[in-house]
Chains A and B, each alone.
Chain A
Amino acid sequence: MFLQQLVNGLTIGGIYAMIAVGYTMIYGVIQLINFAHGEIYMLGAFFAFTFITFLGLPFYAAFLLSMLCCAVCGMLLDIVAYRPLRQSPRLAALITAIGMSIFLQNLAMVIWGSRPKPFPHGAVPAYFENKAVTFGDVSLSWFHLFIFAITIVMMVGLNLIIQKTKWGKAMRAVAQNKTMAALTGINVNRVISYTFALAGSLGGAAGILVGAYYNSLYPTMGYIAGVKAFAAAVLGGIGSVPGAMLGGVVLGVAEAFGAGYLSSLYRDGISYGVMITVIVLIPAGLFGKIIKETKKSM
């Protein structure tokens, strides 16, 4: 039981991590909680579903194409909704983010209907079901391994991009100080768009994985996953990418154990509880810096 929950926890934790880094990167560069990020995750699943069902694309091709579409969606979200409000107070941007989230959720309902849908039969590679590794009474299917692999590859890849590439450095600069970054010749808006694209593609990937794993897609799936991933980002310290990754895994494991041993009814409550507790007690999270309200600036 323990090991099984651990496996479940790590699996879902990896997913949360992938979504959480999206929240944290966007908060890092524009100090906005992108409420609509969960919807990008949801769209990832639905795009893949559409590509497989209506274009007959094979799984991996649909996966990659969907990630690309989500990247584009992320950038559009920024350009259309958030960029015009760059100079406005945070309340306006937050309300816009919520508005976009509601809009996208319901748009998906209109387009794809509100009932949960499975992926078409045979869409997901068949051998995913098969057990790959077994120890004790715990088994990992190929799908589990696939998810682990994708998660790890994405996390490592993201870290490489952030630490080693020119764009990554630009992102870090913008996150630290937009004005200075602009003064050193960085095109801040372009960097922000790029951040949204990156966040979107990861979120979309997570969506496809979850949709395929549970074989159920529905337009409000982004809502609850988004909240949990945000809780993970807060736990890790909003603004810190390694924090979000760690936070995601920790939250996933905590949730699995909590649901397994304490109460499965309050599975979602664990995320809310973690989030509230972290924010109230240690707002900086595990790795983040406290973003103090500038009360004292004259």
Chain B
Amino acid sequence: MKPILEINRLYKNFGGLEALKDISFEINPLEIIGLIGPNGAGKTTLFNCVAGLEKPSSGEILFTNNSRTVSIGGKKPESVTSLGIARTFQNIRLFDNLTVIDNVKIGQHCRTRTMFLGAVVRTPGQQEEERLVTDKANQFLEFVGLAGRGQEIASSMPYGNQRRLEIARALATEPRLLMLDEPAAGMNPQESRDLMALIRRIRDKGITILLIEHDMKVVMGVCERVVVINHGQWLAEGKPQDVQNNPKVIEAYLGKGAASAASA
């Protein structure tokens, strides 16, 4: 089966800075892949290149959905989302002034079509679409554990709920691939466990997951494969336990000499 996402020899330069250098790896459908590496390794830059917020300097990114393969490097972010890739943000980007349910409804934007005339005249088609959007939004809220909170203002919620809301919104775009950027940041152990369960439930719904994460418990607990990058370059790849014991990886995180100390 063809990989859902293929990254081939991806480079990204910012002026003189090489943020990504010759990165290549694949994600197969329904995998849960972890992308790890020290701070500044280029993980979010990679996300941005896939999601369309940055344009790769060279290399290609191939996304396969429903047997159609599309090269998405350099595409605009709206197109990438329409094609079926959703992402969340390291620093949570919610629509602060809107209600929880409106936030999720906006996720449905790329799957709906009504414009000005429909909004004003309220054709039966528009009403049906709104009903569908509302129902789906409520389902997504329930799925992430925010049922009944639809009318709260997004920015008034506690941090953990805000993260869940962002995931609900991303799910509302009906993606095939979901990219989570440090979803466990700032969570306590119980919340992290809930998050891991949620991630598995998302995968069970047929969505492939790529996640950037620093919390190793989460990475070990939920990822089937881990890709390690450092200084913008691919460093290692494999099952979590194998990567954890890889001396190059240890060295990347802890510095030289730590590898021998760790194996001692």
Residues of A within 8 A of B (CB): 295-296, 298
State in angstroms the CA–CA spacing of A124 and B192 once bound together.
Answer: 79
* Residue on A nearest B45 in the bound complex, by CB: A298
* Residue on B nearest A295 in the bound complex, by CB: B53
Question: Chain A residues with Cβ under 8 A from B181's Cβ?
Answer: 298
Question: Chain A residues with Cβ under 8 A from B48's Cβ?
Answer: 296, 298
State in angstroms the CA–CA spacing of A298 and B44 once bound together.
Answer: 8
Chain B interface size range: under 10
* Minimum Cβ distance to chain B for residue A297 (Å): 10
Question: Chain A residues with Cβ under 8 A from B89's Cβ?
Answer: 298
Q: In the complex, given contacts A296-B54, A298-B90, what are 9 additional A-B residue pairs having Cβ atoms less than 8 angstroms apart?
A: A295-B53, A296-B48, A296-B53, A298-B44, A298-B48, A298-B53, A298-B89, A298-B91, A298-B181
Provide the B81-110 mask, 1 if CB < 8 A to any CB of A, else 0. Answer: 000000001110000000000000000000
* Minimum Cβ distance to chain A for residue B97 (Å): 13
Question: Chain B residues with Cβ under 8 A from A298's Cβ?
Answer: 44, 48, 53, 89-91, 181
Provide the B50-81 mask, 1 if CB < 8 A to any CB of A, else 0. Answer: 00011000000000000000000000000000
State in angstroms the CA–CA spacing of A298 and B90 once bound together.
Answer: 7
Question: Chain A residues with Cβ under 8 A from B90's Cβ?
Answer: 298
* Minimum Cβ distance to chain A for residue B46 (Å): 12
* Residue on A nearest B181 in the bound complex, by CB: A298
The 10 A-B pairs with the shortest beta carbon distances in the complex, nearest first, are A296-B53, A298-B44, A298-B90, A298-B89, A296-B54, A298-B91, A298-B48, A296-B48, A295-B53, A298-B181
* Residue on A nearest B55 in the bound complex, by CB: A296
Total A-B pairs in contact (CB under 8 Å)? 11
Provide the B28-50 mask, 1 if CB < 8 A to any CB of A, else 0. Answer: 00000000000000001000100
Question: Chain B residues with Cβ under 8 A from A295's Cβ?
Answer: 53
* Residue on A nearest B93 in the bound complex, by CB: A298
State in angstroms the CA–CA spacing of A277 and B54 once bound together.
Answer: 28
State in angstroms the CA–CA spacing of A296 and B44 once bound together.
Answer: 11
State in angstroms the CA–CA spacing of A295 and B78 once bound together.
Answer: 14
State in angstroms the CA–CA spacing of A298 and B91 once bound together.
Answer: 7
* Minimum Cβ distance to chain A for residue B7 (Å): 19
* Minimum Cβ distance to chain B for residue A249 (Å): 33
Question: Chain A residues with Cβ under 8 A from B53's Cβ?
Answer: 295-296, 298
State in angstroms the CA–CA spacing of A298 and B48 once bound together.
Answer: 9
* Minimum Cβ distance to chain A for residue B185 (Å): 13
State in angstroms the CA–CA spacing of A298 and B89 once bound together.
Answer: 7
State in angstroms the CA–CA spacing of A141 and B241 once bound together.
Answer: 88
State in angstroms the CA–CA spacing of A40 and B90 once bound together.
Answer: 46
State in angstroms the CA–CA spacing of A296 and B55 once bound together.
Answer: 11
* Minimum Cβ distance to chain A for residue B55 (Å): 10
* Residue on A nearest B44 in the bound complex, by CB: A298
* Residue on A nearest B89 in the bound complex, by CB: A298
* Residue on B nearest A296 in the bound complex, by CB: B53
What are 11 inter-chain pairs, A to B, with CB distance below 8 A? A295-B53, A296-B48, A296-B53, A296-B54, A298-B44, A298-B48, A298-B53, A298-B89, A298-B90, A298-B91, A298-B181
* Minimum Cβ distance to chain B for residue A288 (Å): 18
State in angstroms the CA–CA spacing of A295 and B48 once bound together.
Answer: 12
* Residue on A nearest B90 in the bound complex, by CB: A298
State in angstroms the CA–CA spacing of A129 and B220 once bound together.
Answer: 87
* Minimum Cβ distance to chain A for residue B202 (Å): 22
* Minimum Cβ distance to chain A for residue B257 (Å): 33
State in angstroms the CA–CA spacing of A139 and B25 once bound together.
Answer: 76
* Minimum Cβ distance to chain B for residue A186 (Å): 26
Question: Chain A residues with Cβ under 8 A from B54's Cβ?
Answer: 296
In the complex, chain B residues 175-197 whose Cβ is within 8 Å of any chain A Cβ = 181
State in angstroms the CA–CA spacing of A181 and B68 once bound together.
Answer: 52
State in angstroms the CA–CA spacing of A231 and B44 once bound together.
Answer: 40
State in angstroms the CA–CA spacing of A298 and B43 once bound together.
Answer: 12
State in angstroms the CA–CA spacing of A296 and B90 once bound together.
Answer: 13
In the complex, chain B residues 145-182 whose Cβ is within 8 Å of any chain A Cβ = 181
* Minimum Cβ distance to chain A for residue B3 (Å): 26
* Minimum Cβ distance to chain B for residue A88 (Å): 16
State in angstroms the CA–CA spacing of A298 and B53 once bound together.
Answer: 10
* Minimum Cβ distance to chain A for residue B96 (Å): 13
State in angstroms the CA–CA spacing of A295 and B53 once bound together.
Answer: 8
State in angstroms the CA–CA spacing of A188 and B198 once bound together.
Answer: 48
Question: Chain B residues with Cβ under 8 A from A296's Cβ?
Answer: 48, 53-54
* Minimum Cβ distance to chain B for residue A118 (Å): 54
* Minimum Cβ distance to chain A for residue B107 (Å): 19
Question: Chain A residues with Cβ under 8 A from B91's Cβ?
Answer: 298
* Minimum Cβ distance to chain B for residue A15 (Å): 39
* Minimum Cβ distance to chain B for residue A172 (Å): 21
